[in-house]
């Protein structure tokens, strides 16, 4: 749960920065957000969640 909240917060911050920096307009940002919202209700959502969890675990294991 902590990972998903962190990812949502990070993506929200990136989205706000992109909108303010005018690298993405509000319309395409809204379409992307709605796409993510509706993707979460499909049968593909568990696969995306597993992929992002494994990616986060892999990044967490990197020792600098």
Tens-digit pLDDT profile for residues 8-64: 788 888 888 888 998 888 888 888 888 888 888 889 888 988 998 898 899 889 887
CA dihedral 12, 15, 19, 22 (to 10 degrees): 150
Please tell me whether the overall predicted TM-score, pTM, comes out greater than 0.75 for this model.
Answer: no
pLDDT band at 2 (very low <50, low <70, confident <90, very high): low
Res 63: pLDDT:
83
Q: Reduce the DSSP state of residue 42 to 3 states and report it.
A: coil
More confident residue, 52 or 1: 52
């Amino acid at each position: 749960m902590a990972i998903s909240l962190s990812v949502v917060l990070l993506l929200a911050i990136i989205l706000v920065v992109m909108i303010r920096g005018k690298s993405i307009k509000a319309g395409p940002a809204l379409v992307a957000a709605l796409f993510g919202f509706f993707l979460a209700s499909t049968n593909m959502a568990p696969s995306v969640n597993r992929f992002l969890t494994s990616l986060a675990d892999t990044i967490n294991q990197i020792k600098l």
